[in-house]
Amino acid sequence: MTESPRIFAKQYLMTAGPTPLPPAVSQAMAEPVIYHRSPAFIEIYARVLENLRTVFRTRNDVLCFAASGTGAMDSAVANLVAPGDQAVVASCGKFGERWRDVCEAYGADTIDLEFEWGDPIDHERVDAALADAPAPVRAVFATQCETSTGVVNDVRALSEVARRHDTVLCVDAVSGLGAIDLPQDEWGVDVVVSGSQKSLMCPPGLAFVSASERALAQAADRPGRRHYFDWELTAAGQRQDPPNSAFTPAVTLFRAIDIALEQIIAEGLEQVFARHALLARAARAGIESLGLERFGPDDESANVVTVAAMPDEIEGAQVPKLMRDRYGVTVAGGQGRLKGRIVRIAHCGYYGAFDIVAALTALEMSLRDLGVEVEPGAGAGGAQRVFAEAGVAPEPVG
Amino acid sequence: MTESPRIFAKQYLMTAGPTPLPPAVSQAMAEPVIYHRSPAFIEIYARVLENLRTVFRTRNDVLCFAASGTGAMDSAVANLVAPGDQAVVASCGKFGERWRDVCEAYGADTIDLEFEWGDPIDHERVDAALADAPAPVRAVFATQCETSTGVVNDVRALSEVARRHDTVLCVDAVSGLGAIDLPQDEWGVDVVVSGSQKSLMCPPGLAFVSASERALAQAADRPGRRHYFDWELTAAGQRQDPPNSAFTPAVTLFRAIDIALEQIIAEGLEQVFARHALLARAARAGIESLGLERFGPDDESANVVTVAAMPDEIEGAQVPKLMRDRYGVTVAGGQGRLKGRIVRIAHCGYYGAFDIVAALTALEMSLRDLGVEVEPGAGAGGAQRVFAEAGVAPEPVG
* Cα A115 to Cα B143: distance, rounded to the nearest angstrom: 48
Residues A150 and A291 in one domain: no
Residues B226 and B214 in one domain: yes
* Cα B252 to Cα B34: distance, rounded to the nearest angstrom: 8
Q: Closest by alpha carbon to A106, among A74, A66, A130?
A: A74
Whether B113 and B129 have beta carbons less than 8 Å apart is answered as yes
The pLDDT tens digits for A348-393 are 999 999 999 999 999 999 999 999 999 999 999 999 999 999 988 6
Res A3 pLDDT > 90: no
Residues A326 and A180 in one domain: no
Q: Give this prediction's pTM.
A: 0.96
Residues A226 and A373 in one domain: no
Mind giving me the DSSP string for B40-89?
A: HHHHHHHHHHHHHHHHHTSSS-EEEEES-HHHHHHHHHHHH--TT-EEEE
pLDDT for the residue B262: 98
Would the CB atoms of A106 and B19 count as touching at under 8 Å? no
B86: which strand partners? B109, B137
Res A1 pLDDT > 60: no
Residues B243 and B277 in one domain: no
* Cα A397 to Cα B354: distance, rounded to the nearest angstrom: 60
Res A397 pLDDT > 80: no
Would the CB atoms of A204 and B20 count as touching at under 8 Å? no
For A30, which of B13, B29, B35 is closest by C-beta distance? Answer: B29
Confidence bin at A327 (pLDDT 50/70/90): very high
Q: Does A101 touch chain B (CB under 8 A)?
A: yes
pLDDT for the residue A2: 62
pLDDT for the residue A116: 97
Would the CB atoms of A227 and B74 count as touching at under 8 Å? yes
Q: How far is CA B395 from the centre of its chain?
A: 34
Residues B182 and B109 in one domain: yes
Res A207 pLDDT > 90: yes
The pLDDT tens digits for A252-298 are 999 999 999 999 999 999 999 999 999 999 999 999 999 999 998 88
Mean pLDDT, to the nearest integer, of A235-253? 97
The pLDDT tens digits for A156-168 are 999 999 999 999 9
- Say yes or no: ipTM exceeds 0.90: yes
Question: Do the domain assignments include residue B242?
Answer: yes
Residues B373 and B324 in one domain: yes
Would the CB atoms of B250 and A68 count as touching at under 8 Å? yes
* Cα B316 to Cα B308: distance, rounded to the nearest angstrom: 10
* Cα A273 to Cα A264: distance, rounded to the nearest angstrom: 10
Residues A130 and A256 in one domain: yes
Domain boundary at A212, A238, A266, which? A266
Scanning A221-306, the segments in alpha helix (DSSP H) are 231-239, 251-267, 269-289
Question: Do the domain assignments include residue A361?
Answer: yes
Residues B273 and B230 in one domain: no
Substitution target in A64, A77, A80, A228 with the highest count of B β-carbons within 10 Å is A228
Domain boundary at B266, B292, B315, which? B266
Angle between helices B94-105 and B69-80 (to 10 degrees): 40
Q: What angle do CA B201, B205, B209 make, to 5 degrees?
A: 85
Q: What contacts A319, CB < 8 A, 6 or more positions away? A: A310, A333, A343, A363, A366, A367, A370
Q: What angle do CA B259, B260, B261 make, to 5 degrees?
A: 95
* Cα A142 to Cα A87: distance, rounded to the nearest angstrom: 11
Question: Do the domain assignments include residue A17?
Answer: no
Phi, psi of B87 (to 5 degrees): -135, 155
Query: Chain A 325-344, CB below 8 Å of chain B: which residues?
Result: 330, 332
Cα separation of the two ends of chain B: 46
Q: What contacts A389, CB < 8 A, 6 or more positions away? A: none
Mean pLDDT, to the nearest integer, of A69-97? 98
The pLDDT tens digits for A126-174 are 999 999 999 999 999 999 999 999 999 999 999 999 999 999 999 999 9
Q: How far is CA A255 from the centre of its chain?
A: 21
Residues B262 and B125 in one domain: yes
Give the CATH number, domain containing residue A289. Answer: 3.90.1150.10
| Residue A37 structural domain | 23-266
Query: Is A224 exposed, middle or buried, given 0-12, 13-18 or 19+ CB atoms closer than 10 A?
Result: middle
For B253, nearest residue in chain A (alpha carbons)? A205
Give the CATH number, domain containing residue B201. Answer: 3.40.640.10
Res A396 pLDDT > 80: no
- Residue A22 distance to chain B (closest CA, Å): 10
The pLDDT tens digits for A28-52 are 999 999 999 999 999 999 999 999 9
pLDDT tens, position by position, for chain B (398 residues)?
567 889 999 999 999 889 999 999 999 999 999 999 999 999 999 999 999 999 999 999 999 999 999 999 999 999 999 999 999 999 999 999 999 999 999 999 999 999 999 999 999 999 999 999 999 999 999 999 999 999 999 999 999 999 999 999 999 999 999 999 999 999 999 999 999 999 999 999 999 999 999 999 999 999 999 999 999 999 999 999 999 999 999 999 999 999 999 999 999 999 999 999 999 999 999 999 999 999 988 888 999 999 999 999 999 999 999 999 999 999 999 999 999 999 999 999 999 999 999 999 999 999 999 999 999 999 999 999 999 999 886 776 76
Q: How many domains does chain A have?
A: 2
Question: Do the domain assignments include residue A274?
Answer: yes
- Residue B105 distance to chain A (closest CA, Å): 5
Residues A320 and A202 in one domain: no
Q: What contacts B396, CB < 8 A, 6 or more positions away? A: none
pLDDT for the residue A47: 98
Pairing of strands B332-333, B191-195: unpaired
Q: Determine if residue A100 is left, alpha or beta; phi over 0 gives left, psi from -120 to 50 gives alpha, anything else beta.
A: alpha
Q: A225 contacts in B (CB within 8 Å)?
A: 78, 105-106, 225
Q: What contacts A248, CB < 8 A, 6 or more positions away? A: A36, A66, B17, B18, B68, B69, B70, B195, B197, B204
pLDDT for the residue B297: 84
Question: Do the domain assignments include residue B376?
Answer: yes
Question: Do the domain assignments include residue B247?
Answer: yes
* Cα A335 to Cα A100: distance, rounded to the nearest angstrom: 17
Q: Specify the 3-state DSSP secondary structure of A76.
A: helix
pLDDT for the residue B133: 98
Would the CB atoms of B67 and A70 count as touching at under 8 Å? no
Identify each DSSP E strand in chain B by its residue range. Answer: 12-13, 62-66, 86-91, 109-114, 137-143, 145-146, 151-152, 168-172, 191-195, 206-211, 305-309, 329-330, 332-333, 342-346
pLDDT for the residue A392: 80
Q: B107 contacts in A (CB within 8 Å)?
A: 224
Question: Do the domain assignments include residue A369?
Answer: yes
Q: Does A248 touch chain B (CB under 8 A)?
A: yes
Q: Specify the 3-state DSSP secondary structure of B258.
A: helix
Q: Does A230 touch chain B (CB under 8 A)?
A: yes
Question: What percentage of chain B carries pLDDT values higher than 90?
Answer: 94
Would the CB atoms of B68 and A228 count as touching at under 8 Å? yes
Would the CB atoms of B203 and A31 count as touching at under 8 Å? no
* Cα B389 to Cα B201: distance, rounded to the nearest angstrom: 28
Question: Do the domain assignments include residue A11?
Answer: no
pLDDT for the residue A297: 84
Q: A17 contacts in B (CB within 8 Å)?
A: 248
Residues A165 and A175 in one domain: yes
Domain boundary at B266, B287, B314, which? B266
- Residue A333 distance to chain B (closest CA, Å): 11
For B222, nearest residue in chain A (alpha carbons)? A105
Give me the torsion for CA of B123, B128, B132, B138, rounded to 10°.
20
Cα separation of the two ends of chain A: 46
Would the CB atoms of B26 and A32 count as touching at under 8 Å? yes
Q: What rounded mean pLDDT belongs to chain A?
A: 96
